[in-house]
Amino acid sequence: MPPKRATRKKESTDGDSRVRPFWSGTLTFGLVSVPVNLFPANQASRAPLRMLSPEGEPLARKYYSEKTERDLEADEMVRGYEVDKGKYVVVTDEELERLAPEKTRDIDLTRFVKEDSIPPLYFERGYFLTPAANSEKAYKLLVEAMEETAQAGIATFVMRGRENLVAIFKDHGVLRAETMRFADEIRSPAEVGLPEKKKVPPATVRRFETLISKKSKRDYSPGKLNDEQAEALLKLVKKKQAKPSNVVRVESEERDKGNVIDLVQILKRSLSGKTK
Amino acid sequence: MAARAIWKGELKLGTGKIPVKLYSAVSDRSVRFHILDDKHLMRVKQHMVHPDNGDEVSNQEIQKGFEVEPGKFVIVTDEDLKSLEPKPSREIEISEFVPPEKISQQWYERPYYLGPDGDENAYFALAEALEKRKREGIAHWVMRNKSYVGALRAQDGYLVLLTLRNANEVISAGDLPKPAGREPSKKEIDMAKHLVSLLEGEFNPADFKDEYRERVMEFIARKAKGRAPRLTAVKSKRKTTSLDSVLTKSIEVLRKRKRAA
């Protein structure tokens, strides 16, 4: 299992109306500043399978120390970087926060580029930006300006212990941020070891062009991309459910109810200015 | 050093097949931290425990359950999961070709390079044809017991395959309301457009460096020698001025900078 980024915290829900954004900060272009909240635009596709005890009780994941064989509480753990085998340097949240260069604490759009000029290899994760602190008008101003120029804004900023290269797009009147990989995180064909490009017979190219034209569709929506494996699992579960020996019930109802977050509801509330 | 192929397959197009190898197109450079226990500064281990008494439950004893309603689980066995695995196949099937703008940036997940595994002519000819026709192929394949949907496209003369997210993983802006609040005036929009045009340029990823990563690594190196620098707290500044005056000023500043350059 890959090591978890230790700064990642679970989103907290307080009742259901006050949800803390993933990041809050300021978006700037020129001298205009737009305070914004940032929320994920991607969500886990389906609830994962739960680990159960032989009696059917949901289990909890715990960290423990190999030395003492004792389970550890959150405040008994720190984040460390391995500088030598088995030798770690501890880095605190506060240090990580203070290390961010000043100019990267805001999303400062220093450049605008044609929306379709960014190769998709760069895109990593999507987020929606919503206006905060009476910034609706400045927010809309940026949306309108981007709409009419078909430009995306580029910036770098630090979020949760990591610097992100980001492209901001307008999307149905809303600002969407896509984090991107840095240039040194994308391998070149030469680094991968792919052969040198070669001149190919024009007839072969034309043959493929014909094939592409024949199978081309003008309209396409990725919205129909279903997770077939997840659907198959759901079907199987429904079938198994009919047999009582396949089903277990537990009493405890209080456990992690607050972890179920409806991102769409949160975004709707945030965009209609009803977060406070 | 050349990368190792992670998978071998065949691109199926009409009646023909192009043998390809698949390589990761990314190399992760994030600073890797580990979770340590604060007393011994040793890496922690994980286990699953009973929620009531904290007793460890071993891997052999753990069963998996799908929660159909709160507190009600349907047991799913390893055989069940095995039966759901797609049939292994070496084929990357292209169902259709679409204009790239039909796929919003949100859908792209992980990029892979495809390399030729034999027929180089067909490989480079397909890349050239995709570039000329400005199309991306919608690809379907099974890799390591999992089925994938992806976009096949040409990038600088080579073929890349990008996995696409599932529909239920992507929140679409079309489903969200437009933000509430006052609309900017025509004059303000014109000024903002002007401002954007002054900041216009090419997308050149090499212009952006992960300075923060460098700073964190440098800090760790100094701390390892016992010479960690003192870091000062972050102050957030927030100023409010009228949009109009800010826009005018921004345009002035940028114009001057352009003239000076």
ipTM: 0.89
Contacts with A31 from chain B: Cβ below 8 Å: 246, 249-250, 253
Domain extent, residue A173, equals 15-44+96-218+259-276
Residue B12 and residue B120 in one domain: yes
What's the number of domains chain B is made of?
2
Residue B98 and residue B140 in one domain: yes
Determine the Cα–Cα distance for residues A193 and B115; give it in Å rounded to an integer.
9
pLDDT, averaged per 10 consecutive residues of chain B (261 residues), comes to 88 91 93 93 94 90 92 93 93 95 95 96 97 96 94 97 93 91 91 92 93 93 89 66 82 83 70
Q: What is the pLDDT of residue A266?
A: 83
Judged by CB atoms closer than 8 Å, whether chains meet at B165 and A212 is answered as: no
Residue range A123-153, pLDDT digits in tens: 999 999 999 978 899 999 999 999 988 899 9
CA distances to A14, A166, B108, B173, B181 from A172, in Å: 29, 19, 19, 6, 16
Nearest to A227, CA basis, from B163, B162, B24: B163
Determine the Cα–Cα distance for residues A239 and B25; give it in Å rounded to an integer.
41
Phi, psi of B214 (to 5 degrees): -60, -45
Rounded to the nearest angstrom, the minimum Cα separation between B200 and chain A is 5
Residue B23 and residue B129 in one domain: yes
Residue B111 and residue B152 in one domain: yes
In a domain? residue B174? no
Contact A120, A14 (CB under 8 A): no
In a domain? residue A203? yes
In a domain? residue A175? yes
In a domain? residue A170? yes
Residue B160 and residue B189 in one domain: no
DSSP helix/strand/coil, A10: coil
Residue B160 and residue B248 in one domain: no
DSSP helix/strand/coil, A87: strand
User: Locate tokens 């450049």: which residue?
Assistant: A111
Nearest to A69, CA basis, from B51, B35, B54: B54
In sequence order, what are the residues at sequence separation of 6 or more whose Cβ sits closer than 8 angstroms to the Cβ of residue A262? none
Q: Residue B91 sits in a domain of what CATH number?
A: 2.40.290.10
From the CB of residue B95, how many other CB atoms can be counted at a distance below 10 Å? 12
Q: What is the pLDDT of residue A200?
A: 95
In a domain? residue B190? yes
Q: What is the pLDDT of residue A89?
A: 95
Tell whether the model's pLDDT for residue A120 goes beyond 70: yes
Token digits of residue B120 = 């180089």
Residue B11 and residue B98 in one domain: yes
Q: Flag whether residue B261 sits within 8 Å of chain A, measured between CB atoms.
A: no
Token digits of residue A204 = 């072969």
Rounded to the nearest angstrom, the minimum Cα separation between A156 and chain B is 8
In a domain? residue B230? no
Q: Residue A266 sits in a domain of what CATH number?
A: 2.40.290.10
Rounded to the nearest angstrom, the minimum Cα separation between A59 and chain B is 5
What predicted TM-score, i.e. pTM, was given to this entire model? 0.87
Residue range A215-230, pLDDT digits in tens: 999 888 888 777 888 8
Q: What is the pLDDT of residue B28?
A: 85
Residue B106 and residue B149 in one domain: yes
Between A2-6, A115-119, B110-114, the lowest mean confidence (pLDDT) is in: A2-6
What's the number of domains chain A is made of?
1
Token digits of residue A111 = 């450049």
- Predicted confidence band of residue A16 (pLDDT cuts 50, 70, 90): very low
Q: What is the pLDDT of residue B44?
A: 95
Mean model confidence pLDDT for chain A: 86
Residue type, A35: P
Q: What is the pLDDT of residue B236?
A: 58
Best mutation target, A116, A159, A205, to test chain B (most B CBs within 10 A): A205
Token digits of residue A191 = 């680094």
DSSP helix/strand/coil, A137: helix
In a domain? residue B69? no
Measured between CB atoms, which of A77, A113, A182 is closest to B201? A113
In a domain? residue A122? yes
- Predicted confidence band of residue A6 (pLDDT cuts 50, 70, 90): very low
In a domain? residue A143? yes
In a domain? residue B114? yes
In a domain? residue A247? no
Residue range B93-104, pLDDT digits in tens: 999 999 999 999
Tell whether the model's pLDDT for residue A103 goes beyond 80: no
Domain extent, residue B140, equals 7-27+85-169
Phi, psi of B136 (to 5 degrees): -120, 140
Q: Say what percent of chain A tops pLDDT 70.
A: 88
Tell whether the model's pLDDT for residue A209 goes beyond 60: yes
Tell whether the model's pLDDT for residue A15 goes beyond 60: no
In a domain? residue B1? no
